[in-house]
Amino acid sequence: MTEIATKPLFQRLALVGAGLIGSSIAHAARRGNLAGHIAITTRSPDTLKRVRELGFADSVHDDIASAVAGADLVILCVPVGACGRVAEAMKPHLAPGAIVSDVGSVKQAVIRDMLPHIPAEVHFVPGHPIAGTEHSGPDSGFAELFDGRWCILTPLPDGDANAAARLRAFWEAAGSTVTEMEAEHHDKVLAITSHLPHLIAYTIVGTAVDLEESTKNEVIKFSAGGFRDFTRIAASDPVMWRDVFLNNREAVLEMLQRFSEDLSYLQRAIRWGEGDKLEEMFTRTRAIRRGIIAAKQA
Ligand SMILES: NC(=O)c1ccc[n+]([C@@H]2O[C@H](COP(=O)([O-])OP(=O)(O)OC[C@H]3O[C@@H](n4cnc5c(N)ncnc54)[C@H](O)[C@@H]3O)[C@@H](O)[C@H]2O)c1
Ligand SMILES: O=C(O)C(=O)C[C@]1(C(=O)O)C=C[C@@H](O)C=C1
Protein backbone atom coordinates (compact mmCIF):
# COMPACT_ATOMS: atom_id res chain seq x y z
CA MET A 1 0.00 0.00 0.00
CA THR A 2 1.35 3.40 -0.91
CA GLU A 3 0.92 6.22 1.59
CA ILE A 4 -0.98 9.43 0.87
CA ALA A 5 1.24 12.42 1.69
CA THR A 6 -0.40 14.87 4.09
CA LYS A 7 1.50 17.73 2.45
CA PRO A 8 2.46 17.60 -1.25
CA LEU A 9 6.18 16.91 -1.87
CA PHE A 10 6.20 19.51 -4.66
CA GLN A 11 4.14 22.66 -5.19
CA ARG A 12 3.85 22.38 -8.94
CA LEU A 13 4.72 19.33 -11.05
CA ALA A 14 5.09 19.97 -14.77
CA LEU A 15 4.97 16.96 -17.11
CA VAL A 16 6.12 17.33 -20.70
CA GLY A 17 4.60 14.49 -22.71
CA ALA A 18 1.30 12.83 -21.85
CA GLY A 19 1.73 9.26 -23.04
CA LEU A 20 1.86 6.07 -20.98
CA ILE A 21 4.53 7.33 -18.59
CA GLY A 22 3.50 11.00 -18.36
CA SER A 23 -0.15 10.17 -17.69
CA SER A 24 0.79 7.40 -15.22
CA ILE A 25 2.96 9.85 -13.26
CA ALA A 26 0.01 12.28 -13.17
CA HIS A 27 -2.32 9.53 -11.89
CA ALA A 28 0.24 8.38 -9.29
CA ALA A 29 0.86 11.97 -8.16
CA ARG A 30 -2.89 12.51 -7.77
CA ARG A 31 -3.32 9.26 -5.87
CA GLY A 32 -0.54 10.05 -3.39
CA ASN A 33 -1.08 13.84 -3.15
CA LEU A 34 2.49 14.29 -4.37
CA ALA A 35 2.04 17.68 -6.02
CA GLY A 36 -0.07 20.72 -5.20
CA HIS A 37 -0.70 21.30 -8.90
CA ILE A 38 -0.12 19.06 -11.93
CA ALA A 39 0.53 20.90 -15.21
CA ILE A 40 0.84 18.99 -18.48
CA THR A 41 1.95 19.97 -21.93
CA THR A 42 2.45 17.88 -25.02
CA ARG A 43 3.05 18.44 -28.69
CA SER A 44 -0.06 17.32 -30.50
CA PRO A 45 -3.38 19.19 -30.24
CA ASP A 46 -5.29 15.89 -30.32
CA THR A 47 -3.41 14.60 -27.28
CA LEU A 48 -3.96 17.91 -25.44
CA LYS A 49 -7.68 17.62 -26.13
CA ARG A 50 -7.73 14.05 -24.85
CA VAL A 51 -5.80 14.98 -21.69
CA ARG A 52 -8.38 17.67 -20.96
CA GLU A 53 -11.18 15.11 -21.41
CA LEU A 54 -9.48 12.56 -19.16
CA GLY A 55 -9.00 15.18 -16.45
CA PHE A 56 -5.88 13.82 -14.75
CA ALA A 57 -4.09 17.21 -14.77
CA ASP A 58 -4.97 20.47 -13.04
CA SER A 59 -3.90 22.50 -16.08
CA VAL A 60 -3.23 21.54 -19.69
CA HIS A 61 -0.97 23.81 -21.75
CA ASP A 62 -0.40 24.09 -25.45
CA ASP A 63 2.92 25.82 -24.85
CA ILE A 64 5.87 24.59 -22.83
CA ALA A 65 6.61 28.05 -21.35
CA SER A 66 3.39 28.33 -19.35
CA ALA A 67 3.52 24.65 -18.32
CA VAL A 68 6.97 24.77 -16.70
CA ALA A 69 6.72 28.35 -15.33
CA GLY A 70 6.86 28.24 -11.52
CA ALA A 71 7.24 24.43 -11.41
CA ASP A 72 9.55 23.05 -8.71
CA LEU A 73 9.62 19.65 -10.47
CA VAL A 74 9.64 19.20 -14.25
CA ILE A 75 9.70 15.67 -15.72
CA LEU A 76 10.23 15.07 -19.42
CA CYS A 77 8.16 12.10 -20.58
CA VAL A 78 8.91 12.20 -24.30
CA PRO A 79 10.85 9.80 -26.57
CA VAL A 80 14.58 9.98 -25.77
CA GLY A 81 15.40 11.50 -29.17
CA ALA A 82 13.21 14.53 -28.36
CA CYS A 83 14.66 15.32 -24.89
CA GLY A 84 17.39 17.72 -26.12
CA ARG A 85 14.96 19.83 -28.18
CA VAL A 86 12.42 19.95 -25.36
CA ALA A 87 15.11 20.99 -22.84
CA GLU A 88 16.23 23.77 -25.18
CA ALA A 89 12.65 25.04 -25.56
CA MET A 90 11.92 25.11 -21.83
CA LYS A 91 15.28 26.54 -20.70
CA PRO A 92 14.29 30.26 -20.53
CA HIS A 93 11.13 29.48 -18.57
CA LEU A 94 12.47 27.30 -15.74
CA ALA A 95 12.24 28.62 -12.18
CA PRO A 96 15.51 28.97 -10.23
CA GLY A 97 15.93 26.01 -7.87
CA ALA A 98 13.63 23.76 -9.92
CA ILE A 99 14.45 20.07 -10.33
CA VAL A 100 14.43 18.83 -13.92
CA SER A 101 14.24 15.09 -14.56
CA ASP A 102 13.25 12.67 -17.31
CA VAL A 103 12.08 9.07 -17.65
CA GLY A 104 14.06 8.05 -20.73
CA SER A 105 14.98 4.41 -21.26
CA VAL A 106 18.54 5.48 -22.18
CA LYS A 107 20.59 7.73 -19.91
CA GLN A 108 23.95 8.75 -21.46
CA ALA A 109 22.44 10.18 -24.66
CA VAL A 110 19.69 12.01 -22.75
CA ILE A 111 22.26 13.59 -20.41
CA ARG A 112 24.44 14.54 -23.40
CA ASP A 113 21.46 16.18 -25.16
CA MET A 114 19.82 17.88 -22.14
CA LEU A 115 22.73 19.07 -20.01
CA PRO A 116 23.77 21.98 -22.29
CA HIS A 117 20.26 23.42 -21.85
CA ILE A 118 20.02 23.22 -18.06
CA PRO A 119 20.53 26.65 -16.42
CA ALA A 120 23.13 26.85 -13.63
CA GLU A 121 20.51 27.50 -10.94
CA VAL A 122 18.39 24.45 -11.92
CA HIS A 123 19.10 20.89 -10.67
CA PHE A 124 19.15 18.11 -13.25
CA VAL A 125 18.55 14.57 -11.92
CA PRO A 126 18.01 11.99 -14.71
CA GLY A 127 15.73 9.05 -13.98
CA HIS A 128 14.18 5.90 -15.44
CA PRO A 129 11.19 4.00 -14.04
CA ILE A 130 11.57 0.32 -14.93
CA ALA A 131 7.88 -0.09 -15.51
CA GLY A 132 5.80 -0.05 -18.64
CA THR A 133 3.40 -1.81 -20.93
CA GLU A 134 3.08 -2.22 -24.68
CA HIS A 135 0.48 0.58 -24.75
CA SER A 136 1.06 4.26 -25.44
CA GLY A 137 -0.82 7.54 -25.35
CA PRO A 138 -2.75 9.36 -22.60
CA ASP A 139 -5.50 6.71 -22.27
CA SER A 140 -2.99 4.02 -21.33
CA GLY A 141 -1.74 5.51 -18.05
CA PHE A 142 -2.71 4.24 -14.60
CA ALA A 143 -1.71 5.13 -11.03
CA GLU A 144 -0.44 1.64 -10.08
CA LEU A 145 2.12 1.36 -12.90
CA PHE A 146 5.08 2.10 -10.64
CA ASP A 147 3.94 0.09 -7.60
CA GLY A 148 6.66 -2.34 -6.53
CA ARG A 149 8.80 -1.53 -9.57
CA TRP A 150 12.36 -0.18 -9.68
CA CYS A 151 13.14 3.40 -10.54
CA ILE A 152 16.78 4.07 -11.41
CA LEU A 153 18.22 7.55 -10.85
CA THR A 154 21.53 8.44 -12.51
CA PRO A 155 22.52 11.67 -10.70
CA LEU A 156 25.41 13.63 -12.19
CA PRO A 157 28.70 13.30 -10.25
CA ASP A 158 28.66 17.02 -9.34
CA GLY A 159 24.86 17.21 -8.98
CA ASP A 160 22.92 18.49 -5.98
CA ALA A 161 22.45 15.68 -3.42
CA ASN A 162 19.37 17.33 -1.92
CA ALA A 163 17.64 17.46 -5.33
CA ALA A 164 18.38 13.75 -5.87
CA ALA A 165 16.98 12.97 -2.41
CA ARG A 166 13.76 14.93 -3.15
CA LEU A 167 13.28 13.12 -6.46
CA ARG A 168 13.93 9.79 -4.73
CA ALA A 169 11.18 10.66 -2.20
CA PHE A 170 8.81 11.45 -5.09
CA TRP A 171 9.36 8.10 -6.82
CA GLU A 172 9.13 6.18 -3.55
CA ALA A 173 5.83 7.89 -2.80
CA ALA A 174 4.70 6.92 -6.32
CA GLY A 175 5.22 3.28 -5.31
CA SER A 176 8.73 2.54 -6.64
CA THR A 177 11.89 1.20 -5.08
CA VAL A 178 14.63 3.65 -5.99
CA THR A 179 18.27 2.90 -6.70
CA GLU A 180 21.13 4.95 -8.13
CA MET A 181 23.56 4.01 -10.88
CA GLU A 182 26.09 5.62 -13.20
CA ALA A 183 24.53 6.40 -16.57
CA GLU A 184 27.02 4.26 -18.51
CA HIS A 185 26.32 1.24 -16.32
CA HIS A 186 22.56 1.83 -16.61
CA ASP A 187 22.77 1.77 -20.40
CA LYS A 188 24.70 -1.54 -20.41
CA VAL A 189 22.35 -3.24 -17.95
CA LEU A 190 19.22 -2.08 -19.78
CA ALA A 191 20.69 -3.05 -23.15
CA ILE A 192 20.57 -6.71 -22.10
CA THR A 193 17.54 -6.72 -19.80
CA SER A 194 15.18 -4.53 -21.85
CA HIS A 195 16.48 -3.34 -25.20
CA LEU A 196 17.73 -6.66 -26.60
CA PRO A 197 14.54 -8.53 -25.57
CA HIS A 198 12.50 -5.93 -27.47
CA LEU A 199 14.76 -6.26 -30.53
CA ILE A 200 14.36 -10.04 -30.43
CA ALA A 201 10.57 -9.74 -30.09
CA TYR A 202 10.37 -7.32 -33.03
CA THR A 203 12.50 -9.73 -35.09
CA ILE A 204 10.68 -12.95 -34.27
CA VAL A 205 7.24 -11.47 -34.92
CA GLY A 206 8.53 -9.89 -38.14
CA THR A 207 9.97 -13.24 -39.25
CA ALA A 208 6.64 -14.97 -38.58
CA VAL A 209 4.79 -12.31 -40.56
CA ASP A 210 7.16 -12.78 -43.50
CA LEU A 211 6.47 -16.52 -43.70
CA GLU A 212 4.48 -17.75 -46.66
CA GLU A 213 0.73 -17.21 -46.32
CA SER A 214 -0.31 -20.73 -45.23
CA THR A 215 2.20 -20.93 -42.39
CA LYS A 216 1.40 -17.38 -41.29
CA ASN A 217 -2.25 -18.29 -40.79
CA GLU A 218 -1.23 -21.19 -38.58
CA VAL A 219 1.09 -18.92 -36.59
CA ILE A 220 -1.78 -16.56 -35.79
CA LYS A 221 -4.24 -19.39 -35.12
CA PHE A 222 -1.99 -21.32 -32.75
CA SER A 223 -0.17 -18.40 -31.21
CA ALA A 224 -0.28 -19.22 -27.53
CA GLY A 225 2.20 -19.02 -24.68
CA GLY A 226 5.67 -18.11 -25.87
CA PHE A 227 4.86 -16.50 -29.21
CA ARG A 228 1.96 -14.53 -27.75
CA ASP A 229 4.35 -13.03 -25.16
CA PHE A 230 6.63 -11.92 -27.99
CA THR A 231 3.72 -10.29 -29.85
CA ARG A 232 2.86 -8.27 -26.73
CA ILE A 233 6.36 -6.87 -26.54
CA ALA A 234 6.52 -6.33 -30.31
CA ALA A 235 3.38 -4.16 -30.09
CA SER A 236 5.35 -1.52 -28.13
CA ASP A 237 5.54 2.04 -29.42
CA PRO A 238 7.62 2.23 -32.67
CA VAL A 239 8.88 5.80 -32.15
CA MET A 240 9.92 5.21 -28.56
CA TRP A 241 11.86 2.07 -29.51
CA ARG A 242 13.41 3.58 -32.65
CA ASP A 243 14.86 6.27 -30.37
CA VAL A 244 16.07 3.74 -27.78
CA PHE A 245 18.08 1.80 -30.35
CA LEU A 246 19.50 4.90 -32.05
CA ASN A 247 20.53 6.35 -28.68
CA ASN A 248 21.99 3.26 -26.99
CA ARG A 249 23.77 2.02 -30.08
CA GLU A 250 27.12 0.98 -28.58
CA ALA A 251 25.71 -1.02 -25.66
CA VAL A 252 23.00 -2.68 -27.77
CA LEU A 253 25.49 -3.66 -30.49
CA GLU A 254 27.84 -5.12 -27.86
CA MET A 255 25.06 -7.22 -26.30
CA LEU A 256 23.78 -8.23 -29.74
CA GLN A 257 27.26 -9.48 -30.65
CA ARG A 258 27.43 -11.65 -27.54
CA PHE A 259 23.87 -12.87 -28.10
CA SER A 260 24.66 -13.83 -31.72
CA GLU A 261 27.69 -15.85 -30.57
CA ASP A 262 25.59 -17.71 -28.01
CA LEU A 263 22.88 -18.33 -30.60
CA SER A 264 25.48 -19.75 -33.01
CA TYR A 265 26.66 -22.07 -30.22
CA LEU A 266 23.11 -23.43 -29.83
CA GLN A 267 22.71 -23.62 -33.62
CA ARG A 268 25.86 -25.78 -33.83
CA ALA A 269 24.68 -27.98 -30.97
CA ILE A 270 21.36 -28.61 -32.76
CA ARG A 271 23.10 -29.28 -36.07
CA TRP A 272 25.52 -31.84 -34.54
CA GLY A 273 22.97 -33.42 -32.21
CA GLU A 274 24.84 -32.32 -29.08
CA GLY A 275 21.97 -32.73 -26.61
CA ASP A 276 24.24 -32.41 -23.57
CA LYS A 277 25.15 -28.85 -24.57
CA LEU A 278 21.51 -27.88 -25.06
CA GLU A 279 20.45 -29.44 -21.79
CA GLU A 280 23.29 -27.82 -19.88
CA MET A 281 22.34 -24.36 -21.22
CA PHE A 282 18.60 -24.82 -20.57
CA THR A 283 19.31 -26.04 -17.03
CA ARG A 284 21.33 -22.88 -16.32
CA THR A 285 18.61 -20.57 -17.66
CA ARG A 286 15.87 -22.37 -15.74
CA ALA A 287 17.83 -21.78 -12.52
CA ILE A 288 17.96 -18.07 -13.32
CA ARG A 289 14.17 -17.88 -13.75
CA ARG A 290 13.67 -19.74 -10.49
CA GLY A 291 16.09 -17.35 -8.77
CA ILE A 292 14.09 -14.33 -9.99
CA ILE A 293 10.83 -15.81 -8.67
CA ALA A 294 12.42 -16.75 -5.33
CA ALA A 295 13.87 -13.23 -4.94
CA LYS A 296 10.41 -11.72 -5.58
CA GLN A 297 8.83 -13.95 -2.93
CA ALA A 298 11.55 -13.26 -0.33
N1 LIG B 1 6.67 2.61 -22.49
C2 LIG B 1 7.45 2.09 -21.58
O3 LIG B 1 7.37 0.90 -21.27
C4 LIG B 1 8.48 2.97 -20.90
C5 LIG B 1 8.98 2.59 -19.65
C6 LIG B 1 9.91 3.42 -19.01
C7 LIG B 1 10.36 4.58 -19.63
N8 LIG B 1 9.87 4.90 -20.86
C9 LIG B 1 10.35 6.16 -21.48
O10 LIG B 1 9.33 7.12 -21.29
C11 LIG B 1 9.32 8.06 -22.36
C12 LIG B 1 7.91 8.20 -22.88
O13 LIG B 1 7.44 6.95 -23.27
P14 LIG B 1 5.88 6.60 -23.30
O15 LIG B 1 5.80 5.13 -23.23
O16 LIG B 1 5.14 7.43 -22.33
O17 LIG B 1 5.54 7.06 -24.79
P18 LIG B 1 4.15 7.52 -25.43
O19 LIG B 1 4.30 7.37 -26.89
O20 LIG B 1 3.00 6.88 -24.75
O21 LIG B 1 4.12 9.09 -25.08
C22 LIG B 1 5.05 10.00 -25.58
C23 LIG B 1 4.50 11.39 -25.42
O24 LIG B 1 5.49 12.34 -25.82
C25 LIG B 1 4.89 13.30 -26.69
N26 LIG B 1 5.95 13.86 -27.52
C27 LIG B 1 6.67 13.24 -28.46
N28 LIG B 1 7.59 14.10 -28.96
C29 LIG B 1 7.41 15.27 -28.30
C30 LIG B 1 8.02 16.54 -28.36
N31 LIG B 1 9.01 16.78 -29.20
N32 LIG B 1 7.56 17.54 -27.54
C33 LIG B 1 6.55 17.31 -26.67
N34 LIG B 1 5.92 16.12 -26.57
C35 LIG B 1 6.36 15.13 -27.38
C36 LIG B 1 3.81 12.52 -27.43
O37 LIG B 1 2.84 13.39 -27.99
C38 LIG B 1 3.26 11.68 -26.27
O39 LIG B 1 2.36 12.45 -25.51
C40 LIG B 1 10.33 7.57 -23.38
O41 LIG B 1 11.53 8.30 -23.24
C42 LIG B 1 10.58 6.13 -22.98
O43 LIG B 1 11.89 5.71 -23.31
C44 LIG B 1 8.92 4.15 -21.50
O1 LIG C 1 6.61 -4.35 -19.43
C2 LIG C 1 6.81 -3.90 -20.55
O3 LIG C 1 5.99 -4.00 -21.44
C4 LIG C 1 8.06 -3.19 -20.82
O5 LIG C 1 8.53 -3.33 -21.88
C6 LIG C 1 8.63 -2.30 -19.80
C7 LIG C 1 10.08 -1.92 -19.98
C8 LIG C 1 10.95 -3.20 -19.94
O9 LIG C 1 11.61 -3.53 -20.91
O10 LIG C 1 10.95 -3.81 -18.88
C11 LIG C 1 10.27 -1.20 -21.26
C12 LIG C 1 11.04 -0.11 -21.38
C13 LIG C 1 11.51 0.62 -20.25
O14 LIG C 1 12.39 1.59 -20.43
C15 LIG C 1 11.26 0.04 -18.99
C16 LIG C 1 10.47 -1.06 -18.86
State the complex-level ipTM: 0.98
- Predicted pLDDT at 2: 66
Determine which of 1-15, 64-78, 253-267 has the lowest per-residue pLDDT on average: 1-15
> 215: how many CB neighbours lie within 10 A of its CB?
10
Mean pLDDT of the chain: 95
- Predicted pLDDT at 220: 73
Atom of ligand 1 nearest to the CA of 23: 16
Q: Which among 129, 117, 114, 79 is positioned nearest to 244, based on CA atoms?
A: 79
Quick check: 23 pLDDT over 60? Answer: yes
- φ/ψ of residue 160, rounded to 5: -80, 120
The rounded Å distance from CA 172 to ligand 1 centre is 21
Q: Is the domain defined by 185-297 classed in CATH 1.10.3660.10?
A: yes
- Predicted pLDDT at 291: 85
Q: Which among 52, 58, 55 is positioned nearest to 35, based on CA atoms?
A: 58
- Predicted pLDDT at 173: 97
Query: Which of 61, 64, 105 most suits a substitution to test ligand 1, by most atoms within 8 Å of the C-beta?
Result: 105
Q: Whose CA is nearest to atom 7 of ligand 2?
A: 132
- Predicted pLDDT at 207: 87
For 10-182, CATH number? 3.40.50.720
Where are the chain's structural domains? 10-182, 185-297
DSSP 194: I
Query: Which of 78, 103, 105 most suits a substitution to test ligand 2, by most atoms within 8 Å of the C-beta?
Result: 105
Q: Whose CA is nearest to atom 10 of ligand 2?
A: 194
The C-alpha atoms of residue 291 and residue 223 are separated, in whole angstroms, by 28
C-beta of 137 in contact with ligand 1 (< 6 A): yes
Q: How is the beta sheet containing 127-129 ordered, strand by strand? A: 127-129, 150-153, 177-180
Ligand closest to 21 (CA) is 1
Name the H helices within 191-274: 196-210, 213-221, 225-234, 238-247, 249-271
Question: Helix crossing, 196-210 with 213-221: angle to 10°?
Answer: 130
- Predicted pLDDT at 98: 98
| 108 and 182 Cβ atoms separated by less than 8 Å | no
- Give residue-wise pLDDT tens across range 161-172: 999 999 999 999
Q: Which among 17, 113, 117, 13 is positioned nearest to 58, based on CA atoms?
A: 13
Percent of the residues in the chain that have a pLDDT greater than 90, as a whole number: 85
pLDDT bracket for residue 123 (50, 70, 90):
very high
| 34 and 14 Cβ atoms separated by less than 8 Å | no
